[in-house]
Amino acid sequence: MSKTRRPSYLNFDGKSYSWKRGIDYRKHPEMYKVGKGEQGVLICEPYKSEIGQYWRFKDPETAAASSEKIYALFEEYLTQDDFVGADMARKYLQMGFTRARRYANYKGGIKYQKDNDYKLNERGTGEEAKAVAAQIFYDKYKLAERHPTYKDLKADWKARLG
């Protein structure tokens, strides 16, 4: 039985969103907020352009190559003490997991029926290959979250800047 639940993005308020277009977050890292989940991942430049070009999950092989490259960028940002870059790379790894998982759960990755009051589509109709891709990204995402340098930089960042 499918529930009717409107997606949260329908009530998106861009004015109160912490991440803004037109800001160079490398030049102005103090304006970056850690946030929750993947927030800001498709806005924060120049990281969006640097990392996003490698973000792919169409099959397990593509997901493996993509997650390896993004994790390498994550480590590179850490060696530069660039917390914003590392956090953005971590967010792309997380987003690789969540998006691939959506395609594994729902045919075509379509969770809601837009023309039927956003009724939830039937789960379990997606692609098995996307489930494998999701697991590949999940493993790299968790590896990034556990990285001791990342954890230290994140704790310091949150204490200083939120």
pLDDT per position as a tens digit, 113-128: 777 777 766 766 667 8
pTM of the predicted protein model: 0.84
Q: What are phi and psi of 47, to 5 degrees?
A: -65, -40
Number of structural domains in the chain? 1
Asked if residue 108 is part of any domain, the answer here is: yes
Q: Are 162 and 143 in contact (CB under 8 A)?
A: no
Domain containing residue 34: 19-161
Task: To the nearest 10°, report the CA torsion of 130, 84, 79, 100.
Answer: 0
pLDDT per position as a tens digit, 31-76: 898 877 788 788 899 999 999 999 999 999 999 999 999 999 999 9
When comparing pLDDT for 150 and 12, which is higher? 150
Asked if residue 3 is part of any domain, the answer here is: no
Asked if residue 136 is part of any domain, the answer here is: yes
Asked if residue 5 is part of any domain, the answer here is: no
Asked if residue 7 is part of any domain, the answer here is: no
Asked if residue 14 is part of any domain, the answer here is: no
